[in-house]
Chains A and B, each alone.
Chain A
Amino acid sequence: MSIAVQFHQVSRHYDSVRAVDDISLEIAEGEFFSMLGPSGSGKTTSLRLIAGFEQPTSGSIRIFGQEAAGLPPNLRAVNTVFQDYALFPHMNVLDNVAYGLMLKGVPKSERHRRAEEMLELVKLGQYGSRRPSALSGGQRQRVALARALTLQPRVLLLDEPLGALDLKLREQMQTELKSLQRQLGITFVFVTHDQGEAMSMSDRVAVFNKGRIEQVAAPQVLYNQPATAFVADFVGAANVFDGPLAATLAGLEQPFAVRPERIRPAGQLDGDVVRVPGKLLDIQYLGAVSRYEVEVLGEKVVSMVLPNEHDTQAAPAVIGSAITLAWQRQAMLPLAG
Chain B
Amino acid sequence: MHSDQDRAPLWLRLLAYGGIGFLFLPIAVIIIYAFNAESAGYSFPPKGFTLAWFPAAFARNDVMQAIGLSLQLALLATVLALVLGTLAAAALYRREFFGKDAITMMLILPIALPGIITGIALLSAFRLADIPSGFWTIAVGHATFCVVVIYNNVVARFRRLSYSLVEASQDLGADMFQTFRYVVLPQIATALLAGGMLAFALSFDEIIVTTFTAGNEVTLPIWMLNQLTRPRDVPITNVVAMTVMLITALPILAAYYLTRGTEDTAGSGK
Contact = CB atoms under 8 A, between A and B. Distances in A.
Interface string A70-100: 0011100011101111111110000000011
Contacts of B168: 80, 82, 86-88, 147
B227 interface: no
B259 interface: no
B269 A51 contact: no
Residue from B162, B265, B270 with most neighbouring chain A CB atoms (10 Å) = B270
Contact of B171 (A79, A88, A89, A131): A79
Interface in B169-213: 169-175, 178, 182-183, 186-187
Given A84-B268, A147-B172, A73 B164 contact: no
B264 interface: yes
Q: How large is the interface on B (under 10, 10 to 19, 20 to 34, 35 or more residues)?
A: 20 to 34
Contacts, number: 84
Contact of B265 (A78, A83, A131): A131
B264 A53 contact: no
B162 A84 contact: yes
A53 B175 CA distance: 13
Given A82-B167, A84-B162, A89 B266 contact: yes
A85 B269 contact: yes
A73 B171 contact: yes
Given A84-B164, A88-B183, A90-B187, A140 B171 contact: no
Contacts of B183: 88
A151 interface: yes
B80 interface: no
A1 interface: no
A113 B198 CA distance: 43
B125 to A, nearest CB: 39
B62 to A, nearest CB: 46
Nearest to A78: B171
B269 A73 contact: no
A132 interface: yes
A133 interface: yes
A53 B167 CA distance: 7
Contacts of B171: 51-53, 73-74, 78-80, 148
Contacts of B175: 72, 74
A79 B268 contact: no
Given A86-B164, A89-B265, A131-B265, A99 B169 contact: yes
A103 B174 contact: yes
Contacts of A132: 269
Q: How large is the interface on A (under 10, 10 to 19, 20 to 34, 35 or more residues)?
A: 20 to 34
A104 interface: yes
B92 interface: no
A74 B170 contact: yes
B259 to A, nearest CB: 13
A87 B169 CA distance: 10
A102 B186 CA distance: 16
A229 B132 CA distance: 77
A82 B178 CA distance: 20
Given A82-B168, A90-B186, A99-B182, A74 B173 contact: yes
A90 B183 CA distance: 8
B251 interface: no
Contacts of B174: 74, 103
Contacts of A51: 167, 171
Contact of B165 (A72, A83, A88, A104): A88
A216 to B, nearest CB: 25
Contacts of A89: 187, 265-269
Given A88-B269, A89-B266, A99-B182, A72 B167 contact: no
16 contacts: A51-B167, A73-B167, A80-B167, A83-B164, A84-B268, A84-B270, A85-B269, A88-B165, A88-B168, A89-B187, A89-B268, A89-B269, A132-B269, A133-B265, A147-B172, A151-B172
Given A51-B171, A86-B164, 14 more contacts: A53-B170, A72-B170, A79-B172, A80-B167, A84-B270, A86-B269, A88-B168, A88-B186, A89-B187, A90-B186, A100-B172, A103-B172, A133-B265, A148-B172
